[in-house]
Amino acid sequence: MAQAGREPVYRVVAAGETASPFSFDRHYATSNTRAKELGFSFSRAIDWLPGADAEALTASAAPAA
């Protein structure tokens, strides 16, 4: 990730080992169709993700109190 100034680290863990809660060994497709029908609105990730990344990187660079 260029904004973080370092490359991501990918690793494979065996079943039962500690892993990220966002780690999946397969693709899960989703659809927002029903949520839209129920009145939820969605934005595009490109509109908010860079700001969220910048905020997280700033927070992680701040000294611990």
Using pLDDT thresholds of 50, 70 and 90, give the confidence band for residue 14: confident
- Assess whether pLDDT exceeds 80 at residue 60: no
Q: For residue 23, what are the CA distances in angstroms to 4, 7, 10, 19, 50? A: 20, 17, 10, 7, 21
Average pLDDT, the chain: 83
Q: Minimum mean pLDDT among 12-16, 46-50, 54-58: which range?
A: 12-16
Cα 36 from Cα 33, distance rounded (Å): 5
The predicted structure's pLDDT at residue 64 = 65
What total number of domains does the chain contain?
1
Range of the domain at 34: 2-61
Q: Does pTM top 0.95 for this prediction? A: no
Rama region for 58: left / alpha / beta (φ>0; ψ in -120 to 50; rest): alpha
